[in-house]
Amino acid sequence: MPPSPQPDPRVVALDALFDPLVRSDAPGLVVGVAQHGRSLYRRGIGLASVEHGVANTPRTRMRIGSTSKQFTCLAALLLAEEGRIDIDAPVRAYLPELPSISAQGIEPSLHQLMNHTSGYRCYLDLGFIAEGMAIKPAGVAWAVQRRQREANFAPGSQVIYCNSGYQLLSRVIEEVCGQPFEQFLQERIFTPLGMHDTASVPSDFELHPGTATLHLPRPGAQGGGWRRGIFPTEELRGEGAMVSSIDDMLRWLAHLRAPHKRVGSTNSWQQMLAPTRLANGHHTPYGLGLMRHDYRGIEVIHHPGAVIGGASQMLTVPSQALDIIIIGNGAPCSPRELALRIVDAMLGDEVLGRSAAPASAERFASVLGRRYRGRDTGLVFGFARAGAALGLSLLEGPAMPLRDEGAQLSKPFEEGGIGQYLLSTAPLAAAVAPPHLDLIADGRRERCELLPETPPAEAGAPLLGRYRSAELDAEARIAVDGERLLLQIRGAYGGNRFELRALSAEVFGCQALDMPLAHGGNAVLRLTPAVGPLSGPASFRLDTPRTRQLLFERCGD
């Protein structure tokens, strides 16, 4: 008998990577890997439905979340090719009902919606703040956007990831082309590219054949258990509504790398892949719905996605014609990290350079647990362990590992999608936490002051009372609950509760009690001084990773 063919060592390595995730009683993921257009690895892991005991297969369809954004950008650029949209025109030229949000008189453009530099606040984040995981009907996103009177920043000056930009862009596309946004995507992109298992689906309550259920772990349940993941809106659009399969997404990646595109002109694709230049000259790796940057000495193009109960990562290495798609429906893993491990396994050290070195938490022990506040923006950040690495925590969020680049520590934009942050190494390595640090955020240098290690006793007492936020259309109350200080917010469709912890006499960290950190669960409250007869602060402002300076005005004790 002829000898059995030897297995491809790369496939063996990928099996070893994914085998630990194999479960017969839990949700999982689907993964596809191709090189030079040839499929190398297609696998379904875990259950598509825990409820029905149905397994994931390579043909299972799943939500890809924000990986959808590149398709929305291409749709707008197709209309621009036809002269029906000017992407450099102000958003309000197409949606005049929107209020002006820029104190400087600068109007955000459609282009700035696509690269997250518009300054608009994110309607999803505002919904999480006011109403937690309550499900909002269609029409709410547009109402939220029309209520905003302030912006996160002046258009073009900074970058903060904003789903509202893509919700608005979807509305513009729909009005210009005269047909539903979902139909335009189907006719102009999905069908021409043979993406027959792909659709834009506005609501998780819709049923589509072959689509996996999204799963969330049930907290506190004896022996574990799962809940159904449902995104808290019924009007997802270009920001993250697509359902797809690994074969369709590999087909899309091959098209993205092709020198001659069937859909979209060369100029359109050059715009999609070009980095964004901010007003201060700083470049970010985010183009139009795609990120492009270095990984271990090679260029990668990618975009992640997250939904309630699932996550995805699409990535290509153009120089090696290596395409990767991972889509999960509840597997306890990071698709982004898995995709990079696939790159490592497929290309190896003979192609790849050295991995970036993490900053050692032990080396910077003096700043662990300490927090700083920016003098100009009020941004609060701190340091905590991220495994063995020193982690940067923004606005009381999870610690993100910092890279050790010698003279400076860095947190790149692509790791978290909330900006590039740089800090000089020497002050952080001092024996005691320095009283001041200079933080460089997306090219902007800001002097930051150390917050006290022990805040004043009874710091929260002046905050007690009732407040209202016009831009949230929500009421708020700060009260003592046992030994906890609680901020309770109530909007039209639900509510949210934050436990407050004093960081200084004027600054309070906020952690949501009823929702995860990944979806608006962390914030910082900054009070303003009282004016007039009311006791306590006249107002406070709330900062989250995607919403800045949200005003709450005092309306009673």
Q: What is the pLDDT of residue 8?
A: 84
- pLDDT above 90: residue 160: yes
Q: Which two tokens stand for residue 283?
A: 């470049």
Query: How many whole angstroms separate alpha carbon 237 and alpha carbon 68?
Result: 9
pLDDT tens, residue by residue, 250-293? 999 999 999 999 999 999 999 999 999 999 999 999 999 999 99
Q: Which CATH architecture has domain 461-556?
A: Beta Barrel (2.40)
Domain boundaries, the chain: 63-83+180-347, 365-450, 461-556
Contact of 384 with 370, CB cutoff 8 Å: no
Helix (H, G, I), strand (E, B) or coil at 193: coil
Q: What is the pLDDT of residue 521?
A: 79
- Sheet of 403-404, strands arranged across: 400-401, 389-394, 380-386, 371-374, 444-450, 436-441, 421-424, 408-411, 403-404
> What is the mean predicted confidence (pLDDT) over 313-320?
98
Q: Which CATH architecture has domain 63-83+180-347?
A: 3-Layer(aba) Sandwich (3.40)
Q: Which two tokens stand for residue 366?
A: 């003096």
Mean pLDDT of the chain, nearest integer? 94
Same fold, 63-83+180-347 and 461-556: no
> What is the mean predicted confidence (pLDDT) over 82-98?
97
Give this prediction's pTM: 0.95
- pLDDT above 60: residue 111: yes
**What are the counts of helices (DSSP H) followed by strands (DSSP E) for the chain?**
11, 32
- pLDDT above 60: residue 221: no
Q: What is the pLDDT of residue 527?
A: 87
Q: How many CB atoms are located within 10 Å of the residue 397 CB?
A: 21
pLDDT tens, residue by residue, 335-391? 999 999 999 999 999 999 999 899 999 999 999 999 999 999 999 999 999 999 999
Contact of 107 with 92, CB cutoff 8 Å: yes
Q: What is the pLDDT of residue 147?
A: 96
Phi and psi at 320, nearest 5°, equal -110, 5
Reported confidence tier of residue 504, pLDDT bands at 50, 70, 90: very high
- pLDDT above 60: residue 530: no
> What is the mean predicted confidence (pLDDT) over 241-245?
98
- pLDDT above 90: residue 518: no
DSSP label at residue 2: P
